[in-house]
Structure 1
Amino acid sequence: MDGIQHRIVKVNGINMHIAEKGQGPVILFLHGFPELWYSWRHQITALASLGYRAVAPDLRGFGDTDARPEVTSYTCFHVIGDLVGLIDTVAPSDEKVFVVGHDWGALMAWFLCLFRPDRVKALVNLSVVFNPFGSNDNLIEALRAYYGDNYYMCRFQKPGEIEAEFAQIGTETVIKEFFTFWTRDRIFLPKGKGFGRPPNTPIALPSWLSEEDVKYFTTKFDKKGFTGAMNYYRNINL
């Protein structure tokens, strides 16, 4: 795909898949949920053409990167450990890297700046808004009290439950629903009702998302499952 190279690197005790292209200063792209390195495919090619080395991993639990079975193996400390190991692999020890994050990737990019500012040159973050709940020690319960049990982060908490519902809905439909979700409201997933559409309702894709793109995400999540990705949400309080 446009000369993008793929390899597996050993970081922080796991095997991490990365996609990379170009030579020069490193730009690290960190994806969110339910995404993969693939979300950055256009940016990788564009920035590589401008003289940068663009690197995008599948984060822990996603795509072709290892997914540890323990729920507690997905705290920010685990993921930041992975990223520090990755930076050490792709950049000299005296070099800072540019970091671009989206969603969970944005949150982890922020933690990376907090814990290892010596390795970050600049930060660009997307889609993570100001936290209205302040320093609440139990964010999930705050969200539950504010939005109710059907708020998606609350629905993700019980291991196996939402995975079973997603399996019934079908991975392709889940991917399309999340990527085309467009409303002023929050994401609510009432138990047994999926995303609220009648069964077999066609989902129109936007111009920037092709059936081929959906197929790539679907294939990877069919293989890996959603559990690793969900475990990020299950560690929010930690």
Structure 2
Amino acid sequence: MIAAEIAARAPADGYTLLMATSTHTMTPNFYKLSYDMVRDFAPVTQMVPASFVLAVHPSLPVRSVKELVALAKQRPGALNYGSGGNGSPGNLIGEMFRLQAGINIVHVPYKALAQAVTELVSGQLQLMFVVSTAAVPQLQAGRIRGLAVASLKRSAVMPEIPTMDELGLPRFEASRWYGILAPAGTTPAVIAKLHNEIAKTLKFPDVAQRLTNLGLDPVGSSPQEFGEFVRAELAKWAHLVQTAGIRVE
């Protein structure tokens, strides 16, 4: 939030930019901010989204989302999902899953995401939405089982794992995305220059391959597309937080 405050007040000359993430579209629901993500910034481009994987501990007797939902309905309130804290991306996505699937699962917030992943690997947690960059090593080692990805298309690094949308949860989409915003008032010429250079860099074969290996899918969207995406994300999370009654302490 501090970085966003600084960037929002910086000169609109293209030399101060904000590396925005999905969290920036969630925090307005929990904190009184001195900036507005739409009013105070000019979109440049979405760089990469990192998919979230619905993962379970291998000891849980399910191998599909359908089986997980059935088990949760048989044992309401018995299954726990972890996150990096109340109001964190993992919490919001977990609640989106709970509401859309019509199940009763219990949120267990941790002070740090790494701690929650450790608890999932050890079997203290039954399930969790794990960002792909953290999930891939654990999946490859067989320490967790991936049931679905929370994106509308399969991940290039985990193509064998289906999407939530494929499995009957329509339009279920959430990612930890990264994008570039400039201070509001930055000229269209400067925005275009920044976008072109960033998009070109993302297409370099070595850069694209490195990002893919990390579980990231290069995008390089246009400023208009990114602006529309940010507004949609703000609306989506605001609706979810209100519907689920999510609070931070």
So what's the TM-score if we normalise by structure 2? 0.28
TM-score by length of 1: 0.29
